[in-house]
């Protein structure tokens, strides 16, 4: 398993270590119960029926029912516990990753497209969830059961078990070959899904432009082509799965044929009983089922590994615009841009050797053509970016040494772009300041001369 992904998943489930230990112990007991069932079948065929012992027959049947009932109750308890661990871990994962993203620099959100971030936070996290799911934790039971049954099979008949085990390397190499191809296929599928999501967001957020330019048909055509590419990749992925399943089924059938051929001769020579072969076939069926579960887990792992690769760059991202060790308090003083220069992504310089002072208490206007850097200066002042050369000062304090939250609390920006959150008028006004009291809230609305206007609406605020 990818070491980074393993570390990441262990970190998400660390707080549930005690519950996971109880799950492992419970799964071990459940594996033992399932192992015992074929032994009752063997005893019914070899002892109770040949000896016409009705009492023994009923006893074995009742024990089988009791054992299965206990297995059902234990499975119910473990499933609920594993679901709690799985879902809680995923909630923590989503929340922590979202908080991590929100703390990134403003430049981070220019580098990553919003739709791509949404795909990673939803689809990719949902895929990774498959590794912290009930099925994945059940793999512990699967492995315990596999080695328990395989050990018993070798103790019972070494030669026959050896014949069966000879098919396992074939299954392993088949899974290994197909796993590589599946990983490439899933990587393409994820990439296509992101492109579709990006296209949708662009079109739906630019509907006024689409309508004015009569661009509905070309937009629909582009969307159709993206979906056709996604369909081709989906078919490739499905073809791989459809090819692997019958091949594995053929190998499993070959194993059953070996048991009947070998066991049939042994029964004819009175070296084995029909109950022995029946129990052996039951154990073989369990082993095959376990291998199928493992193959399914490998498939989920390939998908999860691709998704983890996609979110790994998010996890490893760290903001560069942060508070210094002992930041200064904000104070209302002159603002000085002292010979600053700035460029986006170390490319062409946008602002070069700018030296101006904005006096405290005065109203200043920066006038210039589009693209001359006016908006960039506002972003530098609120420390969405830092100058690439020299410093901005408030009073005699460098801007990057002032407490970041206090700085932004004292800067108001009215953007030329209309930005509304999904909510009421009141929720839009108090966004980011939900703890403000009602009187102060009302005063601010009146100062902005919008109170009476909004109150005239049927639903008010």
Among candidate residues 362, 354, 359, 416, the one with its CA nearest the CA of residue 380: 354
Write the CB contacts of 243 (distance below 8 Å, at least 6 apart in sequence). Answer: 178
List the beta bridge partners of residue 305. Answer: none
Q: In what order do the strands lie in the sheet with 335-343?
A: 349-358, 335-343, 389-394, 397-398
Task: Give phi and psi for 176, each to the nearest 5.
Answer: -65, -45
List the beta bridge partners of residue 389. Answer: 341
Longest CA pairwise span in the chain (Å) = 108
Taking CA 127 as the corner, what is the angle to CA 122 and CA 131, rounded to the nearest 5 degrees?
Answer: 135
DSSP letters, 158-215, are HHHHHHHHTTHHHHHHHHHHHHHHHHHHHHHHHHHHHHHHHHHHHHHTTHHHHHHTT-
At 390, is the secondary structure helix, strand, or coil? strand
For the beta carbon of residue 416, count every other beta carbon within 10 angstroms: 5
* Confidence (pTM): 0.67
- The predicted structure's pLDDT at residue 89: 82
What are the pLDDT tens digits along the chain (461 aa)? 567 777 777 777 788 888 888 888 888 888 888 888 888 888 888 888 888 888 889 998 999 899 989 989 988 898 888 888 888 888 888 888 888 888 888 888 877 777 778 778 877 887 777 777 666 666 766 777 778 788 887 887 788 788 777 777 777 777 767 767 777 777 788 778 878 877 887 888 788 778 877 888 888 888 899 898 888 888 887 887 777 777 777 877 888 888 888 888 888 888 888 888 888 888 888 777 777 777 677 767 777 887 888 888 888 888 889 998 889 999 989 999 999 999 887 677 888 899 999 999 899 998 888 878 888 898 999 999 999 989 999 998 999 999 998 998 888 888 777 777 777 877 777 777 777 777 777 777 787 788 888 888 887 77
Among candidate residues 171, 150, 146, 145, the one with its CA nearest the CA of residue 160: 150
Place of tokens 């170390």: 346
Tell me whether residue 406 is exposed, middle or buried, using C-beta atoms within 10 angstroms of its C-beta: 0 to 12, 13 to 18, 19 or more.
middle
| CA dist., res. 210 & res. 223, Å (int) | 14
Q: Which two tokens stand for residue 310?
A: 């996609």
| CA dist., res. 87 & res. 93, Å (int) | 10
At 412, is the secondary structure helix, strand, or coil? coil
DSSP letters, 32-73, are HHHHHHHHHHHHIIIIITTTT-HHHHHHHHHHHHHHHHHHHH
Task: Give phi and psi for 393, each to the nearest 5.
Answer: -120, 140
Count the residues in the chain.
461
- Are residues 66 and 89 in contact, defined by beta-carbon separation less than 8 angstroms? no
Place of tokens 């001769």: 265
Q: How far apart are the first and last CA of the chain?
A: 54
Please tell me what DSSP assigns to residue 330.
P
Please tell me what DSSP assigns to residue 124.
I
List the beta bridge partners of residue 391. Answer: 338
Q: Which two tokens stand for residue 248?
A: 């594995």
Place of tokens 């070491």: 3
- Are residues 106 and 384 in contact, defined by beta-carbon separation less than 8 angstroms? yes
């Amino acid at each position: 398993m990818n070491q980074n992904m393993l570390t990441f998943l262990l970190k998400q489930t660390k707080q549930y270590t005690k519950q996971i230990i109880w799950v492992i112990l419970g799964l071990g007991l459940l594996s033992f119960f399932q192992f015992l069932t074929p032994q009752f079948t063997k005893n019914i065929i070899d002892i109770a029926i040949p000896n016409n012992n009705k009492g023994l027959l009923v006893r074995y049947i009742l024990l089988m029912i009791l054992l299965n009932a206990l297995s059902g109750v234990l499975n119910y308890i473990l499933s609920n516990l594993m679901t709690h661990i799985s879902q809680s871990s995923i909630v923590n994962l989503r929340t922590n990753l979202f908080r991590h993203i929100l703390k990134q620099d403003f430049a981070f959100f220019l580098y990553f497209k919003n739709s791509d971030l949404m795909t990673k936070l939803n689809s990719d996290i949902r895929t990774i969830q498959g590794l912290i799911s009930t099925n994945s934790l059940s793999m512990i039971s699967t492995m315990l059961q596999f080695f328990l049954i395989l050990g018993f099979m070798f103790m019972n008949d070494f030669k026959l078990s050896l014949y069966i085990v000879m098919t396992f390397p074939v299954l392993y190499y088949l899974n290994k070959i197909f796993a590589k191809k599946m990983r490439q296929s899933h990587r393409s599928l994820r990439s296509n899904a992101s492109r579709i999501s990006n296209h949708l967001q662009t079109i739906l957020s630019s509907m006024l432009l689409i309508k004015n330019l009569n661009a509905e048909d070309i937009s629909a055509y582009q969307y159709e082509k993206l979906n056709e590419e996604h369909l081709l990749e989906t078919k490739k992925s499905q073809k791989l799965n459809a090819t692997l399943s019958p091949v594995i089924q053929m190998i499993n059938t070959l194993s059953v044929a070996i048991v009947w051929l070998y066991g049939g001769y042994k029964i004819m020579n009175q070296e084995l009983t029909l109950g022995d072969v029946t129990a052996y076939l039951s154990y073989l069926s369990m082993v095959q089922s376990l291998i199928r579960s493992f193959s399914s887990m490998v498939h989920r792992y390939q998908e999860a590994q691709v998704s983890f690769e996609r979110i790994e760059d998010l996890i490893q991202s760290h903001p560069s615009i942060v508070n210094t060790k002992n930041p200064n308090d904000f104070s209302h003083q002159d603002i000085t841009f002292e010979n600053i220069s700035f460029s986006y992504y170390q490319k062409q310089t946008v602002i070069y050797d700018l030296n101006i002072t904005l006096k405290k208490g005065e109203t200043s206007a920066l006038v210039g053509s589009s693209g001359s850097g006016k908006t960039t200066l506002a972003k530098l002042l609120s420390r969405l970016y830092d100058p690439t050369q020299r410093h901005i000062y408030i009073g005699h304090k460098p801007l990057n040494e002032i407490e970041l939250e206090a700085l932004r609390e004292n800067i108001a920006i009215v953007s030329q772009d209309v930005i509304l959150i999904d909510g009421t008028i009141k929720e839009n006004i108090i966004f980011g300041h939900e703890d403000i009291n009602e009187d102060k809230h009302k005063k601010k609305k009146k100062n902005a001369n919008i109170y009476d206007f909004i109150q005239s609406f049927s639903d008010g605020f």
